[in-house]
Amino acid sequence: MNDDDELTAVLTRAGFSEYEAEAYLGLLRLHDASVGDLTDICSVPRARLYDVLRDLAADGYVETYEQDTLRARIPNVDRAVEELRDWADGFENAADELEDVWDRPSIEHTNISVFQTQAATIKKAIGYVNEADYVVQICASPAELLEMEEALTAVHERGVTVRIALNIDPASSSTADLPDMFSRIATEVRQCEANGPFVALVDGSIAVLGIDNELDGEYGLVVNDNTLTSLLHWFFQLQLWEPWDTLYSESVGHPETYVSVRQLIRDLEMLHTEDETVRVRVNGVDLRSHEMVEVEGEVVDVIYTDVYPTRDTTFAQQFIQAALRIRTDDGEYTVGGYGAVVEDIRAIEIDVIGIE
């Protein structure tokens, strides 16, 4: 391939037609030429050259004028050079973007969406709640809770565990009518006075965060990612759930269904002896295959780290490993909670099916 062929190919990739590229390069060599002159050095048919030159003139690449016959000239190559450089920069930027996209986590495993309004965020959360199979955990204001009432009622009727941290001002009387609907929408409700944001956690992998305040403005975040969702779970558990009083519970005392491994461990240590056998059913994610699994078996060991035995470290201990080892017909498995990494299964919910 000669230089003219290469230049023609480049110009056509930059947006010239093949005839325009040939005519432009021919005129570039002659500087000023008639249609007949150009016919002698390029392969564009004479009848087409008139239209081709007029099109090039309309785009600002050449100038045409009449002198016995149509003639054309190139006053300068600035326009074409500038467009070629822009075209090259575009390809270079595209190449950089390809590398950047390649370096990002796979969209199959990481998906983050941002919403501009609280209303859009709540609407998205309602959609995820409607699809819940196991557990829904929510921190919401009374108004937000009323907006979600229909969806929460539907999933609660399907047997989904629903934990609600009701974000209220303790001096407010706006919750007077809410207790009447607690039994329809929730497994447990606590009164949260932390003035936290709207949070919805669904089945362990979906998290919705809604912000609406004078300092940060209004926006929403939807996360479909195990690691980031685990962080929001800890925020919910430590800030919005654990410290607060219970307003309503379907079960007085210890519940039979747990969404917190640590809560289950605390109850087991208080309520059963070494002579008793505890059987559980675990719904969770296999950390090797990343698939949903259900296993049932006997609790044979409790794994947790107590590095501060003489101090009150309730908060610190939340971040130390806590897990169960259960024996099933297929072998033994270790079961951790949200954020589990080294265990076999990350539990979404655990049912205590028997203590004998």
**Average model confidence (pLDDT) for the chain?**
81
Distance from C-alpha of 148 to C-alpha of 130, rounded to nearest angstrom: 10
Q: Which of these ranges, 175-179, 208-212, 305-309, has the smallest mean pLDDT? A: 305-309
Distance from C-alpha of 186 to C-alpha of 250, rounded to nearest angstrom: 8
| Helices 18-30 and 3-13, packing angle to 10 deg | 130
- pLDDT category at 254 given cuts 50, 70, 90 is very low
Predicted confidence (pLDDT) at residue 137 exceeds the cutoff of 90: yes
165-181 burial code (b ≥16 CB/10 A, e <16): bbbbeeeeeebeebeeb
The residues, any chain, with a CB within 8 Å of residue 113's CB and separated by 6 or more, are 124, 221, 222
Tell me if 302 sits within 8 A of 324, measured CB to CB.
yes
Q: Please give the pLDDT value at position 103.
A: 59
Give the Cβ contact number of residue 66 at 10 Å. Answer: 7
Tell me if 194 sits within 8 A of 239, measured CB to CB.
yes
∠ at Cα 184 (204, 166), nearest 5°? 60
| 140 vs 1, residue with greater confidence | 140
Please state the pTM of the whole predicted model: 0.58
Chain segment 190-234, per-residue pLDDT in tens: 988 877 899 999 987 889 999 888 777 888 888 887 777 878 888
**Averaging pLDDT over each range in 44-48, 99-103, 160-164, 271-275, which range is the top one?**
160-164
Q: Please give the pLDDT value at position 307.
A: 44
Q: Please give the pLDDT value at position 272.
A: 63
Q: Please give the pLDDT value at position 1.
A: 41
For residue 69, how many C-alpha atoms fall within 13 Å in the half-sphere facing its CB? 11
